């Protein structure tokens, strides 16, 4: 296997120190090549990636069908603005509609953009006096200013005020608190069916159905942010299908294009016209490269029966990690839904991430104490066991 790079990891880190704004906490590793759930650095070291692309690489690194589609499209038509029609975007919207609740799509480039579109749609679709949206503590909806205001985590608000007005925050899982916040100016409820960045928090039984009932009773839009949980990660095409509760609006991104930048907001044909011409747009949204990658991603999931694979992997991880919990006092709770996995520790987990990287495993820690895994749907059983073995070695030792 050939791995080539002009600079080694140390030289690349130095390049970043001089020229790249340091707004990310980066590890001193220069990744140069990926294949499936493996990725290599410029020194030729292999890493098993159980957090590929922050969850964007749901089919692993460089899925062949997506790569081929992008290569073919790049040679034919790289970009055209949305003032024209293009077949691939229409076909992509059709495929998403047929696999969800039969609505229409607005395309953009990221989850934050998709949620911005949903926020604007909620205000445009409801009477002018209605503008408030209730979101949930621990939720995460993106880093644009509107999406940051929707995100009910004070640490992301520090130094940015005044934030966009109109957001009210309720405890995740507390229907009574939600109802108490609804008033005559409320237009929507916005929730992640499973909170991702918030620590892989799974909703209590009946919570999402209760939100649907409240939305219907008070004539509010119900928005599901499926940026992280959607596109098959939970073993169904979309998270709402897993919980049997259909939203009015759904936002998607991350995995939607198999590793290529892309996002979408889906809503019903009745609500969609409220996002009228001139009120919202995206220059690159739904561009030919993203559209072809999105189609190839959906086709790969179907052709390789990866929805069932996600369910199988979820049970494999659940079995291994719950057994590990019995042996390891450091684990407080294991939460698994398809290939969305959280291991809550009794203390901070940054050392676990560093120790795992040193042993050739890439993972993530969120909310300081939750080890988060978002593995590819096509991860092999052997790779899943390899990752669990490394985690077990680290956690049984109490850290590095």
Are the CB atoms for 167 and 149 separated by under 8 Å?
yes
- Catalytic positions: 140, 225, 254
Could you give the percent of the chain with pLDDT greater than 70? 98
The pLDDT value given to residue 33: 96
Contacts made by residues 211-215, CB under 8 angstroms, sequence distance 24+: 211/175, 211/178, 211/245, 212/245, 212/246, 212/247, 214/175, 214/178, 214/179, 214/182, 214/189, 215/188, 215/189, 215/248
Residues annotated within a binding site for N(2)-acetyl-L-ornithine: 143, 282
Are the CB atoms for 50 and 375 separated by under 8 Å?
yes
Please state, in angstroms and rounded to a whole number, the distance separating the CA atoms of residues 63 and 296: 9
Whole-number average pLDDT of the chain: 96
The pLDDT value given to residue 1: 45
The domain ranges of the chain are 64-304, 307-398
> 307-398 — its CATH code?
3.90.1150.10
Q: How confident is the model at residue 400 (pLDDT cuts 50, 70, 90)?
A: very low
Residues annotated within a binding site: 111-112, 140, 143, 225-228, 282-283
Token pair recorded at residue 328: 């390891």
Task: Please tell me the pTM assigned to this model.
Answer: 0.96
From the list 258, 204, 252, 246, the residue with the least C-alpha distance to 226 is 252
The pLDDT value given to residue 322: 98
Token pair recorded at residue 120: 């604007």
CA-derived radius of gyration, the chain: 21
pLDDT at residue 67 above 80?
yes
The pLDDT value given to residue 4: 60
Q: What is the pLDDT of residues 88-133, one digit of tens each?
A: 999 999 999 999 999 999 999 999 999 999 999 999 999 999 999 9
Q: How confident is the model at residue 160 (pLDDT cuts 50, 70, 90)?
A: very high
User: How far lies 257's CA from each of 1, 77, 105, 264, in Å?
Assistant: 26, 18, 15, 10
Q: What is the mean pLDDT of residues 167-195?
A: 98
Contacts made by residues 25-33, CB under 8 angstroms, sequence distance 24+: 27/354, 27/357, 29/357, 30/5, 32/3, 32/4, 32/5, 33/3
Tell me the torsion sign for CA atoms 255, 50, 139, 192.
positive
Residue 372 burial (CB count, 10 A): 26
Q: How confident is the model at residue 51 (pLDDT cuts 50, 70, 90)?
A: very high
Tell me the torsion sign for CA atoms 358, 259, 102, 303.
negative
Domain 64-304 grouped into CATH 3.40.50.620: no
Residues annotated within a binding site for pyridoxal 5'-phosphate: 111-112, 140, 225-228, 283
Assess whether the previous peptide bond of 66 is cis (omega < 30° from 0).
Answer: no
List, in order, residues 6 or more apart from 139 with CB less than 8 Å away. 150, 151, 152, 153, 172, 190, 191, 192, 195, 198, 225
The pLDDT value given to residue 3: 52
The pLDDT value given to residue 5: 77
């Amino acid at each position: 296997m050939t791995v080539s790079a002009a600079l080694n990891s140390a030289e690349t880190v130095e390049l970043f120190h001089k020229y790249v704004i340091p707004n990310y906490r980066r590890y001193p590793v220069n990744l140069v090549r990926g294949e499936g759930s493996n990725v290599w650095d410029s020194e030729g070291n292999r890493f098993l990636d159980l957090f590929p692309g922050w969850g964007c690489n749901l089919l692993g690194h460089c899925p062949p069908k997506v790569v081929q589609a992008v290569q073919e499209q790049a040679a034919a038509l790289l970009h055209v603005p949305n003032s024209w029609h293009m077949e691939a975007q229409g076909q992509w919207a059709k495929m998403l509609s047929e696999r969800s609740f039969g609505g229409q799509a607005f395309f953009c480039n990221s989850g934050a953009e998709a949620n911005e579109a949903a926020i604007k749609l909620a205000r445009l679709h409801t009477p002018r006096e209605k503008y408030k949206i209730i979101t949930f503590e621990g939720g995460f909806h993106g880093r644009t200013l509107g999406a940051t205001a929707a995100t009910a985590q004070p640490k992301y608000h520090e130094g940015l005020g005044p934030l966009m007005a109109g957001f009210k925050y309720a405890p995740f899982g507390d229907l009574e608190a939600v109802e108490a916040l609804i008033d005559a100016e409320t237009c929507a409820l916005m929730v992640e069916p499973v909170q991702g960045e918030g620590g892989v928090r799974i909703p209590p039984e009946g919570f999402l159905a209760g939100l649907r009932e409240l939305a219907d009773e008070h004539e509010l839009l119900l928005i599901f942010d499926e940026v992280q949980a959607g596109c098959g990660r939970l073993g169904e095409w979309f998270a709402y299908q897993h919980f049997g509760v259909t939203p009015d609006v759904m936002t998607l991104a991350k995995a939607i294009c198999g590793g290529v930048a892309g996002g979408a907001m889906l809503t019903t044909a009745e609500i969609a016209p409220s996002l009228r011409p001139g009120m919202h747009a995206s220059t690159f949204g739904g561009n030919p490269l993203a559209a072809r990658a999105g189609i190839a991603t959906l086709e790969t999931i179907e052709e390789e029966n990866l929805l069932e694979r996600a369910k199988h992997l979820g049970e494999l991880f659940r079995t291994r990690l719950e057994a590990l919990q019995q042996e390891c006092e450091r684990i407080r709770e294991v939460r698994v839904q398809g290939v969305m996995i959280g291991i809550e520790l009794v203390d901070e987990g940054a050392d676990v991430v560093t120790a795992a990287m040193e042993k050739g495993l890439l993972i993530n820690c969120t909310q300081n104490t939750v080890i988060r895994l978002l593995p590819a749907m096509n991860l092999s059983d052997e790779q899943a066991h390899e990752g669990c073995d490394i985690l077990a070695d680290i956690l049984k030792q109490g850290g590095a």
